[in-house]
Structure 1
Amino acid sequence: MAGSGTAHLRGDDTLLSVQDLEVEYRTKGGSFKAVGGISFDVRRGETLGIVGESGCGKSTTGRAVLRLDPIAGGRIRYGDEWIEAVPERRMRRLRREMQMIFQDPVGSLNPRRSVKEIVVEGLAIGGSSVEDQKAAARTVLDQVGLPGERFADMVPRQLSGGQAQRLAIGRALALNPQLLICDEPVSALDVSVQAQILNLLEELKQEFDLTIVFIAHDLGVVRTVSDNVLVMYLGKVCEFGDSVEVYDRPAHPYTRALLDSVPLADPDKGFAGPALQGDIPSPLRPPTGCRFRSRCPVAQDKCAVEEPVMREVRPGQFAACHHPLD
């Protein structure tokens, strides 16, 4: 593990394996790597949480796994198949098993289609019969809490944000996926509705033995739903491990800073600790060495000249840091 830059879980039950993934964008100011060579494994039935500030590359990672964003380097294995270079026709079939739920529930739905049409649009594209589509619509809408007798003929603008997200989940579920990539699925919802959607995802995960990659910037949400957590900063992985261990005893200064920035339940007590200092550097000109060093309270000279590699700092907990926390 040491020196590999990889957040891997050993075992033969890995459903998704990402190895040295790079995603590069070109702008007028030059090209930059939104994801700079990250690696991780996700086991069957696991929920992996990916967390970090806006712009760290977590959503890009999720989109790249489905090849919705171009892959500049690295490899992705889904099940027994390397998918980074498979023909698009084959990739379209694989996406039936690898579904994505987006942050904006209403914006991700076709405004001109009814609820019953949206929930089975993947089946329709795949050539399923009308009878099978009708049966699937009834079943799936009940499973996600949108009974057909009330919601089937509605259109997205008639739904609340929570109902629209339930529909988006149902649309993904109709294809019997093995892997769900949830990209900030509750960040646009009220807190009370967030809890309902998170409970729904957990129920569906258990019922259908789903594997989930849950992307969010809300650390509290990620801790609630995740078995393991991957912390990203400026396109790199900072820390990986069991969610309880990472949250209770973070090894990377960035993880510690994120946790210290979370507001406490008692408003009179303010924040748990100091907020992160400064802004995220431009991805066009990231710092040399450790990318977090320009904001890190424990950075030393070595951090400016040598990029840290992922290493196991405690059993099952990995951090890319020259000076991990005790």
Structure 2
Amino acid sequence: MAGSGVAHLRGDEALLRVEDLVVEYRTSAGVVQAVSKVSFDVLPGETLGIVGESGCGKSTTGRAVLRLDTVTSGRIRFRERAIEDLDEREMRALRREMQMIFQDPVGSLNPRRPVRELVVEGLDIAGASRKEQEAAAGRVLAAVGLSDERFRDLLPRRLSGGQAQRVAIARALAVEPQLLICDEPVSALDVSVQAQILNLVEDLKRDLGLTVVFIAHDLNVVRTVSDRVLVMYLGKLCEFGTPEAVYAYPAHPYTRALLDSVPQPDAVDGFSGPALEGDLPSPLSPPTGCRFRTRCPRADELCASEEPQVAEVRPGQFAACHHPLPVPEVPTGSGDAALPIPVPVPVPARSTA
């Protein structure tokens, strides 16, 4: 079910550490509880995938890390620096080390500026010389598979969705960040182009030593790119672990329901299990206790009265649930070796679409 806690955090070696993050918005209808005491960390060189239904708070979580959305409370540490304590000047400087790629590739680009100016916006703000900007533009466009000569003078309206997303990625890379937050970077793209952008992000992560937070609602995409997976529901953490563990043996009823809702080609009705029933409750007045209890087949009185805490259900796999689903015991030291490895999503050949 959905709760709080820090049992799954892995120590001081994390590049990014978030504890008890709360983000709330005041509206005319009341206070929207977008993110409620969510904790996670990301180790250097790791990709953390954050997945959940629309409205679960995953994008708000990513934006809060960069303080693009106001943090109500909680602690955010990047390389042991307390982000919530920085003033605006210090935060602008730190954003050179933390960049974000947004869902709408065309909408995230200034329509009046050519590609060569768009990709060096961060360097221009930082006061880099014209020579430095020109060199960086050629370098990052080449890194994302775009010809400097062909694309540098084009305006965003002349780009396809995939090309626009490559430009957005190049813009993020120009300032040489350590952390890249990808907020639904492929959801607006055709399926074939999605795979090309996923390949690109993986290649850049490997070649540049990036640490990545990858936010998406597509379970297959998250499984393909992630080293660890965090499942969210209505502003709360539900489950955390490796994709091998979470996808093969989900401990949380919500994770199980999400996986069962994914279309399966060999299933009679196209799905492997019952659909998730009911609508997502309003974040203006979330359920008491466990926020998933109104849609959970295992819910009881305890779920209504007491919020579950994050607890380890097997080595390296955590769930916030009073009644977690059974998962197999794995011998000490074997990690996920005894679990079946998920089949990756087929990836077509690369292109600059």
Q: What CA distance in whole angstroms lies between the structure 1 residues aligned with 2:53 and 2:85?
A: 30
Residue 149 of structure 1 deviates from its aligned partner by: 1.1
Q: What CA distance in whole angstroms lies between the structure 2 residues aligned with 1:4 and 1:232?
A: 11
Which residue number in structure 1 is paired with residue 252 of structure 2?
252
TM-score between the two structures when normalised by the length of structure 1: 0.97
Structure 1 gap segments, 5+ residues each: none
Which residue number in structure 1 is paired with residue 122 of structure 2?
122
Which residue number in structure 2 is paired with residue 191 of structure 1?
191
Residue 244 of structure 1 deviates from its aligned partner by: 1.1
Q: What CA distance in whole angstroms lies between the structure 1 residues aligned with 2:37 and 2:12?
A: 23
RMSD: 1.2
Structure 2 gap segments, 5+ residues each: 327-353
Which residue number in structure 1 is paired with residue 110 of structure 2?
110
Which residue number in structure 1 is paired with residue 288 of structure 2?
288
Q: What CA distance in whole angstroms lies between the structure 1 residues aligned with 2:32 and 2:153?
A: 45
Residues 88-108 of structure 1: CA distance to partner in whole angstroms, max 9, x if unpaired?
000000001100000000000
Worse-matched range after superposition: 4-13 or 89-98? 4-13
Conserved 8 A contact 2:4-2:308: no
Q: What CA distance in whole angstroms lies between the structure 2 residues aligned with 1:247 and 1:7?
A: 20
Which residue number in structure 2 is paired with residue 57 of structure 1?
57
Residue 300 of structure 1 deviates from its aligned partner by: 1.2
Residues 60-96 of structure 1: CA distance to partner in whole angstroms, max 9, x if unpaired?
0000000000111101000021011210000000001
Which residue number in structure 2 is paired with residue 17 of structure 1?
17
Q: What CA distance in whole angstroms lies between the structure 1 residues aligned with 2:276 and 2:69?
A: 30
Residues 120-179 of structure 1: CA distance to partner in whole angstroms, max 9, x if unpaired?
111111111101111111111111011111111101000000000000000000100000
* 2:43 is equivalent to residue 43 of structure 1: yes
SS at match of 1:166: helix
Residues 176-213 of structure 1: CA distance to partner in whole angstroms, max 9, x if unpaired?
00000000000000000000000000000000110000
Worse-matched range after superposition: 5-14 or 230-239? 5-14
SS at match of 2:182: strand
Matched AA of 2:17: S
SS at match of 2:111: coil
Which residue number in structure 2 is paired with residue 89 of structure 1?
89
Conserved 8 A contact 1:19-1:75: yes
Matched AA of 1:25: Y
Q: What CA distance in whole angstroms lies between the structure 2 residues aligned with 1:33 and 1:269?
A: 36
Which residue number in structure 2 is paired with residue 323 of structure 1?
323
Conserved 8 A contact 1:99-1:180: yes
* 2:232 is equivalent to residue 232 of structure 1: yes
Residue 281 of structure 1 deviates from its aligned partner by: 0.5
Which residue number in structure 2 is paired with residue 206 of structure 1?
206
* 2:137 is equivalent to residue 137 of structure 1: yes
Residues 17-49 of structure 1: CA distance to partner in whole angstroms, max 9, x if unpaired?
001000010111111211011111110000000
Which residue number in structure 2 is paired with residue 173 of structure 1?
173
Conserved 8 A contact 2:19-2:38: yes
Q: What CA distance in whole angstroms lies between the structure 2 residues aligned with 1:317 and 1:191?
A: 30
Q: What CA distance in whole angstroms lies between the structure 2 residues aligned with 1:90 and 1:215?
A: 26
Which residue number in structure 2 is paired with residue 216 of structure 1?
216
Which residue number in structure 2 is paired with residue 71 of structure 1?
71
Residues 251-279 of structure 1: CA distance to partner in whole angstroms, max 9, x if unpaired?
00000000000011358641111110000
Residue 9 of structure 1 deviates from its aligned partner by: 3.9
Paired-residue identity, %: 73
Conserved 8 A contact 1:7-1:41: no
Q: Using a 3 Å threshold, how does the CA distance of structure 1 residues 267 and 166 change in structure 2: closer, same or farther?
A: farther
Q: Using a 3 Å threshold, how does the CA distance of structure 1 residues 53 and 324 change in structure 2: closer, same or farther?
A: same
Detail structure 1 runs of 4+ shifted over 6 Å in the superposition: none
Matched AA of 1:204: L
TM-score between the two structures when normalised by the length of structure 2: 0.90
SS at match of 1:312: strand
Matched AA of 2:37: G
Q: What CA distance in whole angstroms lies between the structure 2 residues aligned with 1:266 and 1:193?
A: 25
Query: Equivalences for 1:266-285 in 2 at 5 Å?
Result: 266=266, 269-285=269-285
Conserved 8 A contact 2:8-2:312: no
